[in-house]
Structure 1
Amino acid sequence: MRGIAACLTVATVLLWLAAHGRDRLDIWVAQTTLPPVLSEVAVEVRARDGTLLRAFPVEDGRMRFAVRVDQTDQQFIKMLIAYEDKRFYQHGGVDLWALLRAGTQAVRYGEVVSGGSTLTMQVARLLENSGTGSMAGKLRQMRVALALEQRLSKDEILNLYLLHAPYGGAVEGVRAASLAWFGKEPHRLTQAEAALLIALPQAPEARRPDRQPAAANAARSRVLERLGLAAGNRQPDIPRALRTIPQDAPHLAAMLRRDRPAALRHDTTIDAQLQRNMQELARRIIWGQERGVSAAIMVADHTTGEILAHVGSPVFASKDGALGFVDMTAAKRSPGSTLKPLVYGLAFDEGLVHPDTLINDAPVSFGGYAPQNFDGQFRGMLTVRDALTLSLNIPPVLLTHELGPTRLMAGLRRAGSRPQLPSGKAGLAVALGGVGMSLHDLAQLYAGIAQGGQARPLKVLSEASDETATRFMSDVAAWQVSHILSGIAPPKGSAATAGQIAYKTGTSYGHRDAWAVGFDGRHVVGVWLGRPDGTPVPGVFGGALAAPALFEAFGRISSERAPLALPPKDALIVGTAELPEQLRQFHSRDAIFAVGPDRPVVAFPPDGAVLRRSGFGVPLKLRAGALPLTVLVNGLPVITHLRARDAVLALDAEGFTRISVIDARGRSASVEIRLD
């Protein structure tokens, strides 16, 4: 009753001043020192459709979101004014008649029947965080309310109420309340939701739905009854839990806040639903893995350069030793075999090889550097296409030796990547992953290959301008690489078929990183698995772990695959025998291949022989070589574990044929014949 008495007293004083001392009242109001009306609001990171991805709280951990009247459900605004302040648009900040009515009713009935505070007075109280029980406090609120009305528009005053009204706990403002209690933005509220948001600010803790559901329901009902909206309507249940404000794309949000500290809102190209799908996939693919294993996923639309999903770790916390706060889309790690497509693409452009050029996968040394294949075996003479498909190590090192490591590094930089060299100097090992690359770098590189050899920087901010594309590979070479990668068989159990997705896997030295990067006609996806601290994960392979995750990611993007690009009109699509002579077989300038007196030799048929087709096949006679032997025809194995030095090959097709043999020590020999 003390507050009502104060209201009556102050109202009487103001009425007298208004009637007998208007000038004094105006001077008194004009001299009012207003509290700050510009308040800190949460920094927001939003998806491409405006959906809130993540928000950073203001002081004391409160969630207060920027909001305006035109962003709020207009039914809610009408209900709020009708319930709290019917004469809001008529009074000048203080409704004297409402104060007198409230006081008279309180005296008559012995209790508070209706309040006398206007919305503007409530704003004054919220801005100053002041009480209302004393005469001095009430007078101060009225003075501030009158001053606010002189200096702000009605909508600006409503904006302040919508921004500061308390809704329980750390929730402040109607937008934070709508997200926290209903999980949605406040521009489309039901009558019941609007009524609850009108009732809560009057007693935010006593009416908190999660703690005092009965009180919240009763308060909501009173609002609806007074507004004549409750008749015969059964209202939905009161929300029983305070929802968590969206916390998606945490690594990306932290990066944007760090890079643009003055921005209150970051509008991104992220697809909100796809982001959540990829976050769930990252959590799933590490399930059952050893302690400390993390994962990262990036998805982009390579036709526009827009990043659609950015997952730096499965959980944004240092859980189970996984260092989840580390953004593994940006961490520089050894990319393993994922750079081989660039090596081959540059070699195609330089005219060193063609996809059907024969290249020798045999022991080789470059001044003491002797690369080995992953399985320790050697395949002998085979096509470049097969060398990339099988991810062999010797052929790309041979090509990098011809190109020069600095050419490969320049190609990476032109593709938009930012490689880091541990020693500061590029060597042949770069071809096999001896350079620091991030998942973002690899997604950038593969997006450029998908776009016909043109690199356009991937972007995550919607307002970022489109940059001019930089060519780092010809469209023919890019298509040749894509065509080879699309022929790699999908992982077992994948719904995709060969030819739909061009992809490559990689495993770094010591099983520290497992990679898979690929693209279809529209999207590029990159997946990384490993430990953020760089310690090995025994048994981790890109093909076994990252590739299935890559194909699942594509499946979550869409069940339909955008077709890969068609071959450019000037692409040379012929077999080995039809290639120009200088492209039929690659010869390194000064690579030293291992030789020995007992290396295998094809005694028959001799190299260059022209044989007549007999219908009985072609006899094969071999000399030397450690048993067992493997025989390949045009790069494909036709006999394995051969423990004799003669055999008959089922050959009867007209034209050129390459016959290769590899012994148990990886040494090889080959001949090319023609059948007429």
Structure 2
Amino acid sequence: MMRLLKFFWWCCVAVFCGLLLSLSGAFLYLSPALPSVESLRSIQLQIPLRVYSSDAKLIAEFGEMRRSPIRFADIPPDFIKALLSAEDDNFANHYGVDLTSLMRAATQLLKSGQIQSGGSTITMQVAKNFFLTSERSFSRKINEILLALQIERELSKDEILELYVNKIYLGNRAYGIEAAAQVYYGKSMRDLSLAQMAMIAGLPKAPSRFNPLVNPQRSQERRDWILGRMYKLGKIDEARYQAAIHEPINASYHVPTPELAAPYIAEMARAEMVGRYGSEAYTEGFHVTTTVPSKLQEAANNAVRTGLINYDQRHGYRGPETRLPGMTRETWQLELGKQKTLNGLEPAIVSQVEKSGILVLTRNGQEETVSWDSMKWARPFLNTNSLGPRPQKPEDVTQVGDLIRVLRQEDGSLLFSQLPAAQSALVSLDPQNGAIRALVGGFSFDQSNYNRAVQAKRQPGSSFKPFIYSAAIDKGYTAATLVNDAPIVFQEAGMDEAWRPKNDTNTFLGPIRLREALYKSRNLVSIRLLQAIGIEYTLNYVSRFGFNKQELPRNFSLALGTANLTPLEIAGGWSTFANGGYKVQPYLIERIHSRNGEPLYIANPASVPSGATAPAGAATTAEPPAASGEITTELPASNLEPVVAERIVDARTSYIMTSLLQDVIKRGTGRRALAMGRSDLAGKTGTTNESKDSWFSGYNADYITTVWTGFDQPESLGRHEFGGTVALPIWMSYMSAALKDKPAHMLPEPEGLLTLRIDPLSGRAATPGTPNAYFELFKSEDTPPPMSELDPNLAIPGSPLPADEAAPIDLF
């Protein structure tokens, strides 16, 4: 008997020694390949890119993983209790490995022949999640055990838990408990109830199986089991237990909701960040602050939406998006579920037509009323210039089963509408440094990602003329110079037909002052002006404003705005008139911070000298103290040297141009803007041939804003649609909001200007008693001579243009 006992004793010792030697051998074999646990202290979890407005409102979030890391001190104690009850109730007592759990897992393996559970502690899961794969093998398990032992030696229990709750995947792209709380409940972890915390604590085991959105019943069973464990382990009392298990599963999918709708801005910021940081832009948790204030962006959104809807309704109703008659309510609801709400225009299906209006089924499953008054605009669309008869009753407009669009008002009521066919873009800049203050690239980003503000190259029409006038004034012409508004013909060898440019009204006014020619937008005056100052000079001059010289037409159509330019390019060029003659470069990103709040980048754009009064003198193309438009990344911000913008236009020329453009609003094609009741506005309309493009650019010293409207595939906006009827109302809506409660702001008059009384018939200095004489601005060296010095050889008295100005000339 003793021999038998000794035999068993030595067998046990042998088995123990064998296991010890095997583990020691495995440790010696595997330990050199184990990663350093110390790296966990500086681990960088993947955090999405977040883009914010200048006043810290979330615009967008980019990244595959939704993650918001949370510190251990901010984790609710109830959640820690729920998690440990579910995953590792002995966490506080073991040293990384729980032998009881491992033996239980081994027993299950021997009985079933399959791995039922891994017996992993939270520490072992941290080791696997950060360093290992999900492969089920004994070698990986041994590595996991060895790493867990190292982790427990080098990190505290609190540090281990913090790593775990921020790393784990919890379904629906949510990584970490804070992201899961936002996804499933739309709240922070600290705001969840005990039952909700228990539900999230049940997800690590199998995020898809226990997902409350996919399997609410299984999710509830798992939650109740965890609550039962908490009660059994004494973590909660019976009252809290009973209250929690009777709480319904109320999880729902919550997408991170932007606080500011600015999708075109978000996409521009995302593209720039990817250009800077590559794929890391999506994972490093960058915090991007743009130059866009939420108030101005919201005003731009509203202006573009309202302007396009108003234009669209002027041209009639094109009918429903589709017809679904004779179908069940359930079928209609399925169809509505496929439709998106586009810039506030909700899809709806007409369920009933009555005398007082219609009833529509909306996406929320409710039937709501649309009044007849909101439908009276819906005359049938025949073509761009023709409408059908006015509808007399709702059934003249629509019928049951029509899929239409409705616009919800602030009071909840619905207006009859339709998706606009035309598109628009708006760009607003700070002329002092080029900061983008608002940008809209189309009616709806969900409808079309195409950003017309920065990608659509269209002809600016007459809104380009101020660059031609500025070139002339910098070459010695004045606002009082007379130019003949008369027919002109250009014939070039090899051309099938002569080019006979005309004014939009096909009328001619004869000799006319430059000031009057600009606010009346006389095309022939612009062409003659370009003819007189020369194409090459003008191309070189205009290219200073940021336009690519190679992309500008090298013929006299340049005077009519036939260059293909984007709204952002136009706004950038116009900013020179608004800031007194300086070139600024549009930019969007103001600051970039790391995940820890450290500044990585601070914009330092070339800016107009602060508080400086622009000196008189000719424009210069010399290099400024620092490269124009360069943005430095030297940090901290206090060490950044201001970058002075390059002066490209004489300050006096810029001031005179502002005076001319103010007359466009006071007397010319921009007269509608007088309704704003401001004295500091300057601007110019633009309309291309057949009204295919409608523009308005305008400014005061605070903002320069450009609006374009047209169709993506160029076609006429309508016989009676111009820059002043389509683009200008959008500009007015935005600028009225942007300048609300702001005092008039005009740049001070620079030195070197004189104001003289001028004879309107000759453009010369008026003598006492001259009828209808008026005051005009001049550069001191360009003041006109008196009437007595008129040259009899001039074609037009007081004009420097030669007598043969209308002769055929070389176009190219």
SS at match of 1:296: strand
Q: Which residue of 2 aligns with 1:107?
A: none
Q: Distance in 2 between matches of 1:559 and 1:544?
A: 22
Q: Which residue of 2 aligns with 1:449?
A: 577
Q: Distance in 2 between matches of 1:286 and 1:332?
A: 20
Task: Give the counterpart of 1:478 among 647, 654, 657.
Answer: 654
Q: Which residue of 1 aligns with 2:330?
A: none
Contact kept, 8 Å, 2:96 with 2:152, in 1: the verdict is: yes
Contact kept, 8 Å, 1:306 with 1:459, in 2: the verdict is: yes
Contact kept, 8 Å, 1:414 with 1:471, in 2: the verdict is: no
Deviation at 1:155, TM superposition (A): 8.6
SS at match of 2:478: coil
SS at match of 2:542: helix
Contact kept, 8 Å, 1:479 with 1:568, in 2: the verdict is: yes
The structure-2 alpha-carbon separation of the partners of 1:492 and 1:199, relative to structure 1 and needing over 3 Å to count, comes to farther
Deviation at 1:457, TM superposition (A): 0.9
Q: What is the aligned-residue identity percentage?
A: 25
Amino acid aligned to 1:75: D
Q: Which residue of 1 aligns with 2:563?
A: 435
The structure-2 alpha-carbon separation of the partners of 1:345 and 1:131, relative to structure 1 and needing over 3 Å to count, comes to same
1:610-653: per-residue Cα shift (whole Å, max 9, x none)?
68xxxxxx9xxxxxxxxxxxxxx679xxxxxxxxxxxxxxxxxx
The structure-2 alpha-carbon separation of the partners of 1:532 and 1:484, relative to structure 1 and needing over 3 Å to count, comes to same
Task: Give the counterpart of 1:559 among 714, 726, 740.
Answer: 740
Q: Aligned runs of 1:232-631 on 2, under 5 Å? A: 238-243=250-255, 246=258, 248-249=263-264, 251-253=267-269, 255-256=271-272, 259-260=275-276, 262=278, 264-265=280-281, 267-271=288-292, 273=294, 274-275=296-297, 278-279=300-301, 281-287=303-309, 289=312, 292-316=421-445, 319=447, 324-325=449-450, 327-354=452-479, 356-365=480-489, 369-418=499-548, 421=551, 426-462=554-590, 463=601, 464-467=603-606, 468=628, 469-487=645-663, 488=665, 492=672, 496-539=676-719, 540-557=721-738, 559-561=740-742, 563-570=744-751, 572=753, 574=755, 576-577=757-758, 584=764
Contact kept, 8 Å, 2:686 with 2:694, in 1: the verdict is: yes
Deviation at 1:353, TM superposition (A): 0.8
The structure-2 alpha-carbon separation of the partners of 1:236 and 1:276, relative to structure 1 and needing over 3 Å to count, comes to farther
What count of residue pairs does the alignment treat as equivalent? 560
1:458-492: per-residue Cα shift (whole Å, max 9, x none)?
11222344233122212222122223334405675
1:319-369: per-residue Cα shift (whole Å, max 9, x none)?
5xxx64354423322111111222222322322113x44444333446665
Q: Distance in 1 between matches of 2:297 and 2:17?
A: 63
Amino acid aligned to 1:171: A
Q: Distance in 2 between matches of 1:76 and 1:494?
A: 58
Amino acid aligned to 1:341: P
Q: Distance in 1 between matches of 2:466 and 2:576?
A: 12
Q: Distance in 2 between matches of 1:236 and 1:49?
A: 38
Task: Give the counterpart of 2:125 among 122, 130, 153.
Answer: 122
Contact kept, 8 Å, 1:515 with 1:547, in 2: the verdict is: yes
Task: Tell me the TM-score normalized by structure 2.
Answer: 0.57
Task: Tell me the TM-score normalized by structure 1.
Answer: 0.67
Structure 1: runs of 5 or more not aligned: 1-14, 58-62, 105-114, 586-606, 612-617, 619-632, 636-655, 658-667, 672-676
Amino acid aligned to 2:526: P
Contact kept, 8 Å, 1:196 with 1:219, in 2: the verdict is: yes
Q: Pairwise CA RMSD of aligned residues?
A: 5.1
Q: Distance in 2 between matches of 1:205 and 1:547?
A: 54
Contact kept, 8 Å, 1:501 with 1:520, in 2: the verdict is: yes
The structure-2 alpha-carbon separation of the partners of 1:47 and 1:358, relative to structure 1 and needing over 3 Å to count, comes to same
Q: Distance in 2 between matches of 1:388 and 1:546?
A: 18
Amino acid aligned to 2:605: D
Contact kept, 8 Å, 1:69 with 1:155, in 2: the verdict is: no
